[in-house]
C-alpha cells in the first residue's frame, strides 16, 4: 500500500501533472458545486419557509416568479446540473471509500460512466422542461 503522504508529496512536486488528473478536476468541481448548493439550500429554506409562513397570496406570488421567469428557469437548469454532478460524483466517492474500484483506471471509468448518466438525466430534464 502506498502511503498517502508520499503519494501527495510526489504529486505536489509535479503540479501540472496534478492538474491534469481527472480526479483533481472532479475534486475541484465537487467543491464548486458544493459551495453553490450550500448557498442554494440556505436561500431555499428561508424563501420557502418564509413564503409558506406569510400565506397563500405571498406563496403563489413567489412561486409564479420563481417558476415563470426565464432567468429563474435557466438558473433552475444550472441548479439541476450542479445537483446531478455533485450527486453522481458523490456516489463515486462513497464507492471509493468502501473500497470499490479504487485503481486509477477503474476510477477513470467509473467517473466517465457516472458523468454520462448525469448528462443523460440532465438533458432529459431540460427536454422535459422545454416541452411544457
Residues that bind other proteins (CB under 8 A): 31, 34-35, 37-38, 41-42, 45-46, 48-50, 52-53, 56, 59-60, 63-64, 66-68, 76, 80, 83, 87, 90-91, 94, 97, 125, 128-129, 132
Q: Which residues contact 84 (CB under 8 A, 6 or more apart)?
A: 118, 121, 122
Looking at beta carbons only, is 71 or 105 nearer to other proteins? 71
In the complex, the smallest distance separating the C-beta of residue 43 from other proteins, rounded to whole angstroms, is: 11
Q: Which residues contact 107 (CB under 8 A, 6 or more apart)?
A: 22, 23, 92, 96, 101
Looking at beta carbons only, is 68 or 99 nearer to other proteins? 68
In the complex, the smallest distance separating the C-beta of residue 38 from other proteins, rounded to whole angstroms, is: 4
Looking at beta carbons only, is 29 or 59 nearer to other proteins? 59
Cβ contact 11:18 at 8 Å: yes
| Degrees to nearest 5, angle at CA 67 with 86 and 31 | 20
Amino acid at each position: 500500500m502506498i502511503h498517502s503522504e508520499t503519494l501527495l508529496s510526489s504529486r505536489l512536486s509535479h503540479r501540472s501533472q496534478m492538474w491534469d488528473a481527472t480526479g483533481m478536476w472532479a475534486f475541484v468541481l465537487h467543491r464548486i458545486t458544493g459551495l453553490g448548493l450550500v448557498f442554494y439550500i440556505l436561500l431555499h429554506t428561508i424563501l420557502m419557509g418564509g413564503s409558506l409562513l406569510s400565506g397563500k397570496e405571498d406563496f403563489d406570488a413567489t412561486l409564479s416568479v420563481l417558476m415563470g421567469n426565464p432567468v429563474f428557469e435557466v438558473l433552475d437548469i444550472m441548479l439541476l446540473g450542479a445537483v446531478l454532478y455533485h450527486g453522481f460524483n458523490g456516489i463515486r466517492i462513497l464507492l471509493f471509500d468502501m473500497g470499490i474500484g479504487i485503481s486509477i483506471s477503474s476510477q477513470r471509468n467509473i467517473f466517465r460512466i457516472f458523468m454520462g448518466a448525469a448528462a443523460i438525466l440532465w438533458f432529459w430534464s431540460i427536454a422535459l422542461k422545454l416541452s411544457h
